Amino acid sequence: MNRTNRTELRRLPNRGSHEWTAIYDILDAGFLAHVGFQVNDQPVVIPTLYGRAGEKLYLHGSAASRMLGELEKGMPACVTVTLVDGLVLARSAFHHSMNYRSVVAFGTARKLADEGPKSSALRIISEHLIRGRWDDVRTPTDKELKATSVLEFQIEEASAKVRQGPPLDGEEDLGLPVWAGVVPLRLQPGTPVPDSRLAPEIALPSYLKSFADKH
């Protein structure tokens, strides 16, 4: 991986890593990215779903999407993914924090115009969200593919950062009569709610039954 000052770990570098394994673990655990880019000197950050294969992220949306239209020009972009694991409550306001896992990735994107690579990328995104779903649904028609823009974002360099553990109060504050600790947070799937128009004989797929168990 290329490493420049864009991904230099300046603040608390002991919490960071440039190792692909650490970066992949976080990217694979998340599904929502925020994509930052610049249009006419105006910074823009857009949330979007993604899928990953190796050092590449796949983004998709309407063919009329401004974000995808700008990114396909090859402009530099930044993709961030953050997973919040808990609120860290210290005895002092200064030491309040958050337990998290995050990735900041820099690179450029290219448009996938051919039907084969485009469909493969959409499958990667679908399987990243819920494994097994793609094989269960109707695949996109030619018309739907034409209405969809798919980009392949090549990660040129990236860094991961993780904060875990209890509050880091100073010794002088440990005796304060204030509760301190961590409030865990977790994104938890609920019970699937069937569409009101679903035929009664269609059972809940096994991959959805196991989806909640894995999260």
Q: Does residue 212 register a pLDDT over 90?
A: no
Q: Is residue 214 part of a domain?
A: no
Instruction: Output the CA torsion 149→126→143→47 (10° steps).
Output: -30
Encode pLDDT of 70-107 as tens digits. 999 999 999 999 999 999 999 999 999 999 999 999 99
Number of domains present in the structure of the chain: 1
Q: Is the pTM of this model over 0.95?
A: no
Q: Among 99, 46, 50, which Cα is nearest to 70's?
A: 46
Encode pLDDT of 123-141 as tens digits. 999 999 999 999 999 999 9
The whole-chain average pLDDT of the chain stands at 92
Per-residue pLDDT averaged across 33-54, rounded?
95
Q: Does residue 3 register a pLDDT over 90?
A: no
Q: Does residue 43 register a pLDDT over 70?
A: yes
**What is the predicted pLDDT for the residue at 15?**
79
**What is the predicted pLDDT for the residue at 1?**
64
**What is the predicted pLDDT for the residue at 8?**
67
What's the token pair of residue 5?
Answer: 């000052």
Per-residue pLDDT averaged across 54-60, rounded?
97
What's the token pair of residue 32?
Answer: 């929502």
At residue 175, what is the residue type?
G
**Partners of residue 47 on adjacent β-strands:** 34
Q: Is residue 83 part of a domain?
A: yes
Q: Is residue 152 part of a domain?
A: yes
Number of residues written out for the chain = 215
What's the token pair of residue 79?
Answer: 């993709």
Domain of residue 147, residue span:
5-188
Q: Is residue 133 part of a domain?
A: yes
Q: Is residue 207 part of a domain?
A: no
Encode pLDDT of 101-129 as tens digits. 999 999 999 999 999 999 999 999 999 99
**What is the predicted pLDDT for the residue at 51?**
98
Q: Is residue 206 part of a domain?
A: no
**Which residues, including other chains, have CB under 8 Å from residue 4's CB and lie 6 or more apart?**
157
Tell me the C-alpha distance between 78 and 34, whole Å.
8
At residue 9, what is the residue type?
L
Tell me the C-alpha distance between 13 and 102, whole Å.
13
**What is the predicted pLDDT for the residue at 14?**
76
What's the token pair of residue 44?
Answer: 């823009």
Q: Is residue 14 part of a domain?
A: yes
For position 184, which CATH number holds? 2.30.110.10
Residues 71, 154 contacting (CB under 8 angstroms)? no
Work out the pLDDT band at 5, boundaries 50, 70, 90. Answer: confident
SS3 content of the chain, % helix, strand, coil (to 5): 30, 35, 35
SS3 18: coil
